[in-house]
Amino acid sequence: MKKLTTTALGTAIALAASVSAAQADKLTLYCSAQEDWCQLMARSFEDATGIDVNMTRKSSGETFAQIRAEASNPKGDVWWGGTGDPHLQAAEEGLTMEYVSPMRDQLHDWAISQAESAGNRTIGIYSGALGYGYNTDLLAANNLPEPSCWKDLLKPEYKGHVQMANPNSSGTAYTTLASMVQIFGEDEGFEFMKGLHSNINQYTKSGSAPIKAAGRGENTIGIVFMHDAVAQAVSGFPVKVVAPCEGTGYEIGSMSIIDGARNEDEAKKFYDWALSAEAQNLALQVNAFQVPSNKGAQTSDSAPDMSTIKLINYDFKKYGSSDERKRLLQKWDEDVSTLPQ
């Protein structure tokens, strides 16, 4: 302890010179989107307002757990990004604060309905539809037909060519499971998952890994959010994106202000700024092809066109609740994952 302290002190004195004495407004941002997007948002907000941003990036599950742990002594101010379910759960538990932003009239309806379903404690900032992508070279090399529907993936010729994430470890894969249950009904939905199971070559841990493997040519078809597939295609990999014909589920990336935030005014400033078209346009710089919630924000030409995708009426309230989640995952664990492939 003594050694540690003295060294820490020594280093501290050396570093003290570089610490500026000026006091600025500050904001603690919990960010659950991809790292470079988080960095860009934080830096751009600093440039736009002069408020110092202290950003921590963690997955939405981790951030949720952290906010819950800090409930009596919140350290974070704003939680930006990440799939909507944990934001809704946080709203349900009263961990986040009600706020009606003056920017609302610029937003798409789905973003506002997300807010209304949570008593204005959260709001949609982007959305992304589920789908799949395939490696065109590998598909051709194996003489496989081009799939266009969910049910196409059950065909025996795709055996060993399909990859998806494990719903236990990935929110993307859970959205897939919940979407299938909503599209086909629970019984048929699980029959679909069983059929899919025999064609799956690997359940990855992370949600976007299947399409990345497909990009590199290590896998043929990956079930992912379509914007992730687009990102691979844009980086130069031979990937084609499919919006399945039966319709598909989607996620709404959300933002919430933490209840009892120490810097509430700055948090509201960030909130309003993050809903502006200008802030949402930043996504394009980091190859994030989600659909922005501001109607005036630009969408990339390569991004999936939401108007042509058949979206189901995804019940976020029901399938985002932890009881339903647990039940579906357990059923998947017992009925699907144990089957021989």
Residues in the site for other proteins, rule: CB under 8 A?
1-5, 7-9, 11-12, 15-16, 19, 21, 23, 34-35, 38-39, 55-57, 59-62, 64-65, 69-70, 72-73, 138, 142, 160, 168-171, 174, 201-203, 205-206, 209, 212, 215-219, 232, 235-238, 333, 337-341
Which phi and psi angles does 96 have, rounded to 5°?
Answer: -115, 165
CB of 295 to other proteins, least distance (A): 30
Q: Which helix (H) or strand (E) element contains residue 78?
A: strand 78-80
CB of 296 to other proteins, least distance (A): 29
CB of 158 to other proteins, least distance (A): 14
Closest CA to 87 of 113, 112, 123, 116: 123
Beta bridge partners of 27: 53
CB of 136 to other proteins, least distance (A): 12
Closest CA to 129 of 179, 82, 79: 179
Nearer to other proteins, 37 or 190 (CB): 37
Closest CA to 181 of 340, 332, 338: 332
- For 40, the 3-state DSSP assignment is helix
Nearer to other proteins, 3 or 187 (CB): 3
Nearer to other proteins, 7 or 298 (CB): 7
Nearer to other proteins, 55 or 103 (CB): 55
CB of 70 to other proteins, least distance (A): 7
| Cβ pair 303, 289 in contact under 8 A | yes
Residues with Cβ within 8 Å of residue 253, at least 6 apart in sequence? 33, 81, 82, 83, 84, 124, 125, 126, 127, 128, 290
Residues with Cβ within 8 Å of residue 83, at least 6 apart in sequence? 32, 60, 171, 175, 251, 252, 253, 254
Nearer to other proteins, 69 or 140 (CB): 69
| Cβ pair 48, 273 in contact under 8 A | yes
Nearer to other proteins, 64 or 314 (CB): 64
Nearer to other proteins, 61 or 195 (CB): 61
CB of 74 to other proteins, least distance (A): 10
CB of 53 to other proteins, least distance (A): 10
